[in-house]
Structure 1
């Protein structure tokens, strides 16, 4: 089973540099969730650094493409294809169509955040792509069923803050304007949101075209890794967004070591000492059962 590390900062390359790890870089033109990687120049610098270190590197285009963006998307993808990357992750099928039109021969992975939830859907998309990334809101049981049905064709989000929602409205800016506070909001990772009925302080991120809310908890797959490996899950994704560099490095290295050789004592020691708010996400609870009474 592979471990995929999402990076959006050149300083992260040294943290995740390992021959057993694939890195994923989110491009800055048609995507979101890249607060530290805002320009093409910054993107090229990170991409070239990863390739220079011979890291297996993928490019992610995670935005949903609008009609007026299609004309510019094609030459951008063509530029990206000039580099010796492993493949592309994408959330919009227009990317797949353009990759095919341009004759791309690398890996193509459909990763639409939440919509892939059953074997019928996965089977349909696997007729056109190499692999899929299934929904973050599935239980462990559901994940194992899908992975078993399609060995080495399915990936999951495995560790990090789970994205709960995305909007095209600048909600943070609007709120601060309402309460008459002038503070920088764009690409800031230090804001937290708390609902009136809950105590959790959820990380939020406002970018040029999107506003995202994430879980306070950080998904912990450590105890579930043997089951995921047994069902031939192709790989799990680790996203260090909102996690400080030192904690991210320690957590990442533990996950990598546990994939190689499971050791429950090391897991117990880590979870006992860490200050990270680890939780099991939806592994053992359905999304619609998590609502709380006001």
Structure 2
């Protein structure tokens, strides 16, 4: 039986493939296009077609979700911890080095989503990513257990109803103890979109600054791009950072990945405000201790 999806009025224009990948496993989406089992407003469509509010997508390849209430709790695979779980969501604390989904050089079974799908397959649950963090970023992620839940949470993320904080170590000293970075970044379709990042200095070291970051928007690589634009890139960021500075920092303090940690997520959930926090992982905490020791201080985070 065909399944029809009407694009919500609140949805911004985006590629058809991107719209579907937010709601279904990537393997299922690719199979839809490979088998020509998808229509956009009644016409055959490819992954690059742009969908807009009010458009109708028809899927001719069955996709079913099943639930089993008598299943045993699912143990977390290596690489992440489940901090909270109920019938609808998971709060995940991800280690650095694990991609959230498959890519050109990442097999699905090695990604967070692939590991979650494997762990929950016996229960008939297909986990969905609500948002993403970079492979080399550690910290918190919200994962939904059904399509209806992911759609609701995505709207709340896009509407700024979810509070997200990061801890980041940036190169150099910032001119202000707190401030905002308001600079457009490329959106999903490549056109510039608004992006706003707020920050507050937590601690200063000789050549670096620890900042607490709150994202008012959720653009790809937003924190990394904004601090690079400010002239204070994330320490050990291999793409947007300072190669010479990173090489010396790794040699002196031993950190091997970018210092960016999704530390806090807070949202209204089931009638009350819920907040989850993830402590600093050992590698970045060790780097801070090394910085403090180099400065002749016994302070720590």
TM-score by length of 2: 0.27
Higher relative contact order (CA 8 A, sep 6+): 1
- Structure number with the higher strand fraction is 2
Using the size of structure 1 for normalisation, the TM-score is 0.28
| Greater helix content | 1
